[in-house]
Amino acid sequence: MEMIVSLRRCWAFIQFVVLFLMLTMIAVTLYGWVTEWINPVNPYALPHGQALKVFQADQPGADSRTLLERLQWFYWMGE
């Protein structure tokens, strides 16, 4: 049994694959740009210019309250 290969069908398939790969690469690039644009600013970065970082984390062990007291405070204040 002989198989007949149509050059037009092969050419159409190659065009489809190339077009599919090009559109996929464009979509991935656009997705990368959008995620980079939406990404939030790093809150731990050092400030630029004359800006000052005013937040200071509590030292471990400085708070004498227990876990239960802190949890009650959290629910009471809503923070």
Please write the tens of the pLDDT for every residue from 7-16.
999 999 999 9
Mean pLDDT taken over the chain:
84
Tokens of 66: 């227990």
Give the separation between CA 3 and CA 5, rounded to whole angstroms.
Answer: 6
Give the separation between CA 72 and CA 75, rounded to whole angstroms.
Answer: 5
pTM: 0.49
pLDDT tier at 62 (50, 70, 90 boundaries)?
Answer: low
| Structure-model confidence comparison of residues 70 and 2, the more confident one | 70
DSSP conformation class of 39? S
